[in-house]
Amino acid sequence: MQIDAQDDRSAILAWLARFADSPATLSSYRKESERLLLWCVLQRELALSSLRHEDMLAYQHFLADPSPAHIWVMAPGQKPARSSPLWRPFAGPLSPQSVRQALSIINSLFSWLVAAGYLAGNPLALARRKTKQRSPRVTRFLSMDQWKQVRITIESLPQETERQKAQAARVRWLFSLLYIGGLRVSEVCDGKMAGFFCRPGADGKDRWWMEVTGKGEKTRLIPATTELVSELMAYRRSRGLSPLASHDETTPLLLPLIGAPKPMARTAVHEIVKSVMEATAARLRLSGTPEAAAAAAHIEQASTHWMRHTAGSHLSNQVDLKVVRDNLGHANISTTNTYVHAEDDSRHDATAEVHKAGWTLR
């Protein structure tokens, strides 16, 4: 055996240790492996080494309906701490897509434990492989009119007190990162302001860029348009900082309202976005028209990731899809792209020309 693991828990911890430098991946993998281990102990009374194909079929059904609910599912509206007796492994049944994602993670765990010599075989190896179908058209995004309504909500936030001013500045900056930059929530929380830098293009023109480390620890460059840099400077001024960060500055992209300048938690970012969407929906419903009610129903479902889809959808209507792919990091960027600055310059100009949040000028 290639790992020093005497039980299932220590074996899983050895697997998780490989992802210590990727907080988002670690969090997701830890959640799924913990759910499996708890199910093995509490529901099946089996060790990982005793799991068979039939057990994993049962686990697949369990993920879609964790029961008994009082043991496995948290009460609606509750988000107790992990240490609380009210904590449960699930917030509710998993969607088919989430079940597939969970089993994919568990399959990775089993495969690694087999390679490490801890397990004799992978109980998921016999699972039926479905033919990969074309992804359905993305519908979880805001139309241009709906995005305009969200902007109105943000630009109308109260600013009578210093705290309200700080809140309004943070919300506007967050939505600038999500829409203009198309960032993932993990990229917002893990990013640093020093990621912004300026370099001369092949045509001699200076352009600002934002370096982002995304999924799989892959780094990409996002065009930091004039609008995005302006929003960065405004947010930094609201926090009493210089307009631009020094190259060695460690200030996170998004900051708590008070206290030390530490990164924001993803849950806090999700809550900020959700509150803006709900406020927008509530305002639209006041008009009483069927169109406004329909827009409100759509907007109140929107999440942080919807903003990324919104950015990609709006941008794809106006520029080449390669620009969208590279901006959002949907595909690997080859090493040679590091040297093709003329191509990057074209992407920067194409983005800056057509993709604007539309904020009212300060």
Question: pLDDT digits over 337-346, tens only?
Answer: 322 344 466 6
Q: Can you tell me the distance from the alpha carbon of 190 to that of 215, in angstroms, rounded to the nearest whole number?
A: 11
Contact 35, 89 (CB under 8 A): yes
Q: Is 230 helix (H, G, I), strand (E, B) or coil?
A: helix
Query: How many residues can be counted in the chain?
Result: 362
292: which 2 tokens?
């406004």
pLDDT at 358: 86
Contact 356, 227 (CB under 8 A): yes
87 pLDDT band (50/70/90 cuts)? very high
At a CB cut-off of 8 Å and minimum separation 6, what does 137 contact? Answer: none
Counts of helices then strands in the chain (DSSP H, E): 14, 3
pLDDT at 106: 93
Q: Can you tell me the distance from the alpha carbon of 238 to that of 252, in angstroms, rounded to the nearest whole number?
A: 15
Domains of the chain: residue spans and CATH:
8-115 (no CATH), 144-354 (1.10.443.10)
Contact 236, 244 (CB under 8 A): yes
Evaluate if pTM is beyond 0.85: no
pLDDT at 333: 35
Q: Can you tell me the distance from the alpha carbon of 230 to that of 213, in angstroms, rounded to the nearest whole number?
A: 22
Out of 65-74, 172-181, 242-251, 318-327, pick the least confident. Answer: 318-327
The number of beta carbons lying within 10 Å of the beta carbon of residue 224 is 25
Greatest alpha-carbon span in the chain:
67
